[in-house]
Amino acid sequence: MEYRKVGKWGLRISELSLGSWITFGNQLDFDAAKELIKRAVQNGINFIDTAEAYANGMAESMLGEIIKSYRRSDLVISTKIFWGGNGPNEKGLSRKHLLEGTWASLKRLQLNYVDLLYCHRPDPEVPMEEVVWTMDQIVRNGLALYWGTSEWSAKELEKAHQTAKQLNCIPPVVEQPQYNMLVRERVEKEYEPIYEKYGMGLTTFSPLASGLLSGKYLQGIPQDSRLAKYEFIRKRFEETGLMSEKTFSKILKLKKISEELNCTLSQLAIAWILKNPRVSSVILGVSKIEQFDENIKAIEVKQKLSDDVMNEIQKILND
């Protein structure tokens, strides 16, 4: 396992990490989640990601109970604030919700602090000064060691950094975007000026595009798959055109490359992301130990991705 710095900053996190969206508290009960974390730590993973919104807080509560048996300094724990409830001040990035949401998350996690705290989405209804000032206070008070963003635009990130500079506040150090072979524009183009200018790192999610890049949907939608269980994911894919014949044609070509490399399509897709030096960590969302055991081997597959193989993949993705 490689431990990568979060951008230019000193924190080191495992190149593969464990997420908890729609798994902890939904697809995984406490015992299954405990076993998964044990397996992850045994394989060198030190970074675990969650959010206040996941399973309405249950994911944080499960994680908090499980990690009590680990040394705190051995783990990097992150959570995200935005969707905390239905009340008028339980959503968004107001000073009130950022602070109350963070306090509530820490209580569920049974922690004094998290290593990374993300603003889960941008909030156009709140002035950037209020967001940056509050996140600065959260870090300076030791509730989080670093702060970051998730799914913010480059324009919003630029404004956050400029605001932090003007107010003499601590800036965001990490962004958590979706990134995979089928969703590339933001990470590879839009954020390009941000990396060098501010030294931000990336903790990317959805490496398999909710299973599309595992090849499981080539013959239809299996009953136990995410697209079968979660209609909002399926609708989003249909709206963005990810369920098109063009996509499936690319997946079939990628599958052929994976067979030539003697690995699975999932392993190839994850290893491809690991080859991007901008990526600090790839967050895995797995619901079974067997899936984890397969995906962790992407670290070995990464070594097989020569320049020629990467160029061949690039041609397929650009078609």
Active site members:
54
Query: DSSP class of residue 83?
Result: B
Q: What tokens does 260 get?
A: 């030539």
CB 286 within 8 A of CB 208: no
Query: DSSP class of residue 172?
Result: P
Rg, C-alpha atoms of the chain: 19
CB 23 within 8 A of CB 51: no
Query: DSSP class of residue 189?
Result: I
- Spatial neighbors of 264 by CB under 8 A, at least 6 apart, are 214, 258, 294
Amino acid letter, 210? S
What is the CB-side half-sphere exposure of residue 246 using CA atoms within 13 A?
A: 8
| Unique residue bearing structure tokens 């020569």 | 306
What 3-state DSSP class applies to 7?
coil
- Spatial neighbors of 32 by CB under 8 A, at least 6 apart, are none
